[in-house]
Structure 1
């Protein structure tokens, strides 16, 4: 039970930092969406790059199996993004994951920009998926921020040395990973439901 409560205590203790990270994460995504809407050619190029890349090929290979598709969505959100882009860089360079994920969020926004009727209608059911998954990313990014701050300013976590601050920052990050994983599971399940059942009805196909 304490593990379930600990993430909420961490957020309450640094509410201002949490709001900053939330604004940074969603702001980067909205900036990307604005860029994609203003420059449709940029959006088309990013969409084509995804479709022709390894992730696009993986999606095409498993989209016919709903359960497998959900597992792939979960794994892609957790490993290439939350772990490799946010967590690991932040464990080497303070706050590096924040900058790297901001670029990734802009790219996601560009790809999902509503440039026509189909993309606009698809975004209606997909908005809940984005909210769930980005909230999971916010938790991981917030943990990366706390790690960097604890590392550079160990006094913020009552540590005497930067080594102690780093270790305590890692514990904070690990605590925030737990609810993030739960949200990634929920997001993957809903995204499959959305793609198979909601989007066809919205589009009338």
Structure 2
């Protein structure tokens, strides 16, 4: 009972920090008399928040992160990463096609999500910093919260996978000014990706698999954006 309560407190702290830290840093900087004038400033603040959050995740879940660290020494590690990457991207493409079909059927435009639009603007303003942040610190933070943290509370495998995917997906879309149906349709790829990462975590019982796959996905997405 005490352990469960402690795990609930841990994820509550992590989620609150995840949702508020960037805004708190921005307000603090403004209070000190510094102006936030463009997207590059916003990227710097967001990246600083991600670093702080990554440290917080390590503090909260250091036992698991240290325990799982030898994953790269496994003889079939590379083989598994390739296999899971193919699975992840295959399902990601299928879910994006499903989203596009539903948008057309419901009379909505097939556009990138508000979250992706913001990432694109930030990347244009500070490409190297965004590449480093999204490929390294973001996976640590998001996998620490949405996979490792939630798994400590929800022990049932299938309920965990569904819950993890929904939380991960919805927090990449909401809050939003979009019509609720349009927003839910836009969340499909994110929810699906979250569920796939949760499945991989449960399958391997090692948090570094979803972390590495998440980082590779973001890295490849950034490179594709640079090349577009």
- Report TM bin, short chain: 0.3 to 0.5
Normalising by structure 2, what TM-score?
Answer: 0.40
Normalising by structure 1, what TM-score?
Answer: 0.43
Q: Which has the higher helix share?
A: 1
